[in-house]
Structure 1
Amino acid sequence: MTEPAAASSQDASSTHPAERPVRAAEEEVAPVAVPAPRTEAPAVLFVCVKNGGKSQMAAGLLRHDLAVAGEEGAVLVSSAGTQPGSEINALSAEVLQDIGADITGETPTQLTPEAMREAGHVVLIGAEAEVPDLDGVEVERWEVDEPSARGITGRERMELVRDDIHLRVRELRDRLLG
């Protein structure tokens, strides 16, 4: 019968924890994994009822802000309506042009479950639009300022709506790209 090998004085199982040698920090801490670069751009789908005003404004503002920042295409941006109208709201387009964003070439589009799944992130603008719950699709609602409830109409109303949406778009952009 052979004798068991003598335990080394360095063997951690044979010494009291206080007697174990202290190792360098790089030996004790696992290296932090470097996140893999994003292979796919995040996407967002803005939705309102008619897709002629607020959802088009949000999409136009996000595209504009990305382009100005040199990040064009960093977020895939689309918009749709639950009951789309026939054209873009002229005053919405006008107040966006004031800040350099252009939605005049856009056309209201019907919302589909496929568009929601492709985006993966849906922003409902206003209280009226409703969408189905779909697995894997994140939905958030923006209750935007409605100046007409305070008697503010026309261009002034639309500028206030634009500015409210613009603040929300900037925050969303930061979340999506953060």
Structure 2
Amino acid sequence: MSDKPSVLFVCVHNAGRSQMAAAWLSHLAGDRVEVRSAGSDPGDQVNPAAVEAMREVGIDISSETPKILTVDAVEESDICITMGCGDTCPVFPGKRYLDWQLEDPAGQGVEAVRPIRDDIRKLVEDLIEEIAPEKPEKPA
């Protein structure tokens, strides 16, 4: 893993879980981590309930668009985190793969998406602590 780890979040439509995870990681880790997201069968737009749920916590994902999962995206990432795409994600030696079991927010209202959003935040916080913890400032 390089000085700046790269993470790829993958779910089927790249419209809910992976978009929220990528937004949380970017928001919480800043430029300490390179963040990507993609889907094995991308949707037409990001789930409006996911957009609203993230807006409630001050994160705007309304301009994001679902992207197709490519071999290059996996190859260029240190860690690939799947969220329901299973075997459609290509596997390369030397990469780290995690599978986060999360409910699919597709077709659900914002009330149902909020707990998914909060579960993703906790998983992302744990990931950051492991791969890119904040370094204490050096004394002057």
Q: TM-score, normalised by structure 2?
A: 0.85
Kept in 2, the 8 Å contact 1:45–1:121? The answer is yes
Instruction: In structure 2, give the amino acid aligned to 1:158.
Output: V
Shift of 1:130: 3.0
1:115 aligns with 2:78: no
Q: Secondary structure at the match of 1:119?
A: coil
Q: How many corresponding residue pairs?
A: 132
Q: Pick from 113, 118, 126 the counterpart of residue 171 of structure 1.
A: 126
Match of 1:42 in 2: 5
Listed one character per residue, the Cα deviations across residues 149-178 of structure 1 (whole Å, up to 9, x for unaligned) are: xxxx52221001101111101101111114
Q: Pick from 55, 60, 71 the counterpart of residue 23 of structure 2.
A: 60
Match of 1:124 in 2: 82
The answer for unaligned runs of 5 or more in structure 2 is: 134-140
Give runs of ≥4 in structure 1 deviating > 4 Å.
145-148
Kept in 1, the 8 Å contact 2:16–2:105? The answer is no
Listed one character per residue, the Cα deviations across residues 80-130 of structure 1 (whole Å, up to 9, x for unaligned) are: 001111111111011101111111111111111110111121000136563
> How is 1:27-176 mapped onto 2 (pairs within 5 angstroms)?
40-66=3-29, 72-126=30-84, 130-145=88-103, 154-176=109-131
The structure whose Rg is larger is: 1
Q: How large is the RMSD of aligned CA atoms in angstroms?
A: 2.1
Kept in 2, the 8 Å contact 1:147–1:160? The answer is no
- Using CA pairs below 8 Å that are at least 6 residues apart, which structure has the higher relative contact order? 2
